[in-house]
Amino acid sequence: MTLAGKTAVITGSNSGIGLGIAEELARLGSDIVLNSFTDNPEDHALAERIAEEHKVRAVYVAADMSNGDACRSLVAKAREAMGSLDILVNNAGIQFVAGIDEFPVEKWNAIIAINLSSAFHTTAAALPLMRAQGWGRIVNIASAHGLTASPFKSAYVAAKHGLVGLTKVTALETAEEPITANAICPGYVLTPLVEAQIPDTMKKYGMDRETVIREVLLERQPSKQFATTAQIGGCVAFLCSAAAEQITGTTLSVDGGWTAL
């Protein structure tokens, strides 16, 4: 499989799941547009490393995904820099945990904006470009929480359910075109952020690393194993492949059996 000649924009991609997706698509030959809200030398150095390592073009474009205009500008800048936009991966997201009656309004607004509204804005800006060039793939990184719920995560669950719904509408509106839209719904993925939480969780519960992972972090994940960022990247690549041309408007769970319960 090759994605040579394609350009992929991945939001929230200077670390974690987004970076794993970017690495896999670059490995397959896609040019890459990285994104986050920061604009540091290390962000641009990351794009340079990907370009050199995978022999593709790669740039970093800073954009605040809580701002609709910035989201649309990201798409325009990617098109200007690369000449095309073939693959859009909406990955940017944040989290906050609190009961509904105590949930800060500003946190609710931020989560809905970054986790849901940003995907609307980037998709709206990308679709005309994909239609003009006659091909496109939209992959929204939702969550197991886009299919089920947990207490104290009202904004995150609402946003991820909304992202799944947006995916379905996008698929129906493009159903007769060579454009697909799908959502990947990961369970717990081993990212640097999750890895950093393990030592503190071990101290809190007085448990060893393996027990904390199995009984605390992965309590709801039947496989008792984290998904990896490379695996999520591989799923995105599959949805961009010829084998997935008739897969649209659906969700792909990568959750170790979580949503089978």
**203 shares its domain with 248:** no
DSSP sequence for 133-172: HT-EEEEEE--GGGTS--TTBHHHHHHHHHHHHHHHHHHH
Q: Does any domain span residue 72?
A: yes
DSSP sequence for 45-74: HHHHHHHHHHTS-EEEEE--TTSHHHHHHH
**133 shares its domain with 216:** no
**53 shares its domain with 171:** yes
CATH of the domain at 101: 3.40.50.720
Per-residue model confidence (pLDDT) at position 248: 99
CA atoms of 106 and 143, how far apart (whole Å):
22
**96 shares its domain with 40:** yes
CA atoms of 90 and 129, how far apart (whole Å):
16
Per-residue model confidence (pLDDT) at position 185: 98
Q: Does any domain span residue 106?
A: yes
**172 shares its domain with 212:** no
CA atoms of 54 and 32, how far apart (whole Å):
10
The pTM of the whole model exceeds 0.95 = yes
Q: Does any domain span residue 1?
A: no
Per-residue model confidence (pLDDT) at position 231: 98
**162 shares its domain with 205:** no
Q: Does any domain span residue 2?
A: no
**123 shares its domain with 212:** no
Range of the domain at 204: 190-224
Q: Does any domain span residue 26?
A: yes
Average pLDDT, the chain: 97
For 10, counting Cβ atoms within 10 Å of its Cβ (0-12 exposed, 13-18 middle, 19+ buried), the class is buried
**219 shares its domain with 242:** no
- Establish how many alpha carbons lie within 13 A of residue 149's alpha carbon, considering only the half-sphere containing its beta carbon: 10
Which ranges of the chain have pLDDT less than 50?
none
Q: Is 156 a catalytic residue?
A: yes
**39 shares its domain with 135:** yes
Which residue is catalytic, options 60, 156, 188, 205? 156
Per-residue model confidence (pLDDT) at position 55: 98
Per-residue model confidence (pLDDT) at position 93: 97
Distant-in-sequence, close-in-space partners of 222: CB < 8 Å, separation ≥ 6 = 256, 257, 258, 260, 261
Q: Does any domain span residue 260?
A: no
Q: Does any domain span residue 184?
A: yes
**147 shares its domain with 166:** yes
Distant-in-sequence, close-in-space partners of 106: CB < 8 Å, separation ≥ 6 = none
**167 shares its domain with 210:** no
Per-residue model confidence (pLDDT) at position 58: 98
Question: Is-contact 124 45, C-beta < 8 A?
Answer: no
The count of domains in the chain is: 2
Per-residue model confidence (pLDDT) at position 73: 98
Q: Does any domain span residue 113?
A: yes
Per-residue model confidence (pLDDT) at position 225: 97
**17 shares its domain with 96:** yes
